[in-house]
Structure 1
């Protein structure tokens, strides 16, 4: 009989551990997916921003040597991501190709100007910073005019702020949900051992001595749950990489590293805190309160 009871207890304990690991893995998988979206959304928004260019039209009296010197100076600027120079001759050829005829035949001269397209780094693509750059370039002796798509930059900035805000709200909600669900699973597993906790306390064991094995056990379960969640995330990332290779998910080692470390740390912190609070609760209960 004792053997059967021991086997039953072991099965019950194993079932409890499995349910905790599964709960942790599912919640962390969900949080990991959201974390991946957050990390990649920043990269995607930066790519969109860095496609925006500010164009400088140069004065006709600026020499080729001065243009090269000016271009080299621009490349050293902290806001410059990429510099492309287009001569007035190249611009005329491109425009003629676009409209399907040589416009210079009936104009008799090339009215276009030499231009420099500056593709700005993502941090500088805001209406305020672009306006500062425009003012700066208009004061330059080589520059005749400055143009960029102000409406587009305003829309990009507004939409990215809106998307970022809602992503943070959703992330906060799921983080709270993760803490609640993992905490509930761990509390249930400790609840089954509440009499053992009180017995150890009655024979003189200190709170820290009683709490320590429970915390270590929960951290182990949390770590296993995190590994299971990471396996699921890896499968999703492989699938998404095949579906949208332009995102470069598998090549973005920094993002993947942050994601993996974040999931593991979240598992350890949440399981530690939940176990500490759950054991503390049962340690503070009176013997007659353990039945409720």
Structure 2
């Protein structure tokens, strides 16, 4: 009789299973989008910071061979992502193209100086770090000046910080909402079986025996919902990168793998935990209480 009751408690695949899977999929899809935006925003901030450069203006007395040696030393520094040497002739050529006229023709000399453009790793792309780097670089007497846009760097860091806090707050709120929605879906499903649960208790079935089919069923609902949600997210990411290939710098495979893992982990944990809490609630209830709820 216990085995028969167990089969009546939860069938492997029915309409209730389908509806629970669909509703859980939609919630996990929403949660996955938030995780995606949080991780993509981090990659975007790194990309933006590492494309902010500053210039080292070099004295005309410094020979090109020494400049190249200086560039190699800078390349070995922990804060440097990449460097680019711009000679006096290259600077003149670039400005001539930009202005549409050659300054050397009416000045009689090349007014530009050689320089090294430096792009920093994202961790060092802030005003405090750049100020320390500036002091280090200026120890070389052949360095005329270090040019960087302090206001731009501060604005970028402030905006990135604000956006990150906003996304993290949104993620926390949606995680709570997701838990509530999935919990309600599972509670309704178990509510419809409350009298069968009580019958199982009357025939002597242990709590663990009664819980097992519910937990197994909801575990697979979580896995299925997470799998479908991940497939949709991967398809959306593929479409984005196909539409704009440059987005591969932000929508990386690592980001999508983390999103997939987060959706799967959350889907399995929340469905399993909600089922456990709900079934325990009805297991503790007396027969009279079941008729009052």
Under a length normalisation based on structure 2, what TM-score does the superposition of the two structures give?
A: 0.90
Aligned length, in residue pairs:
285
> Structure 1, residues 206-244: CA drift from partner, whole Å, max 9, x if none?
323322221111001111111221222233223323333
Contact 1:241–1:250 (8 Å) recurs in 2: no
Return closer, same or farther for 1:101/1:74 CA change in 2, 3 Å cut-off.
Answer: same
For the residue of structure 2 that corresponds to 1:81, the secondary structure is strand
Counterpart position of 1:261: 261
Return closer, same or farther for 1:231/1:250 CA change in 2, 3 Å cut-off.
Answer: farther
Q: Which runs of 5+ in 1 are unaligned?
A: 1-7
Counterpart position of 2:118: 118
Q: Which runs of 5+ in 2 are unaligned?
A: 1-7
Counterpart position of 2:4: none
- After the TM superposition, list the runs of 4 or more consecutive aligned residues in structure 1 that deviate by more than 4 angstroms: 8-11
Counterpart position of 1:181: 181
Instruction: Indicate yes or no: 2:241 matched with 1:248.
Output: no
1:59 Cα shift?
2.0
Contact 2:52–2:119 (8 Å) recurs in 1: yes
Instruction: Indicate yes or no: 2:89 matched with 1:55.
Output: no
Instruction: Indicate yes or no: 2:162 matched with 1:162.
Output: yes
Counterpart position of 2:29: 29
Counterpart position of 2:81: 81
Distance of 2:215 and 2:86 partners within structure 1: 66
For the residue of structure 2 that corresponds to 1:139, the secondary structure is coil
1:10 Cα shift?
8.8
Contact 1:57–1:144 (8 Å) recurs in 2: yes
1:147 Cα shift?
0.4
Q: Alpha carbon RMSD of aligned pairs, Å?
A: 2.3
Contact 2:9–2:197 (8 Å) recurs in 1: no
For the residue of structure 1 that corresponds to 2:164, the secondary structure is helix
Distance of 1:244 and 1:38 partners within structure 2: 20
Q: Relative to structure 2, which stretch is displaced further, 92-101 or 172-181? A: 92-101
Counterpart position of 1:3: none
Q: Report 1:1-292 matches (<5 A).
A: 14-248=14-248, 252-291=252-291, 292=293
1:105 Cα shift?
2.8
> Structure 1, residues 128-172: CA drift from partner, whole Å, max 9, x if none?
212221222222333111001111101101111111111111111
Return closer, same or farther for 1:9/1:52 CA change in 2, 3 Å cut-off.
Answer: closer
> Structure 1, residues 23-52: CA drift from partner, whole Å, max 9, x if none?
110001111122222221211222111111
1:250 Cα shift?
10
Distance of 1:243 and 1:93 partners within structure 2: 35
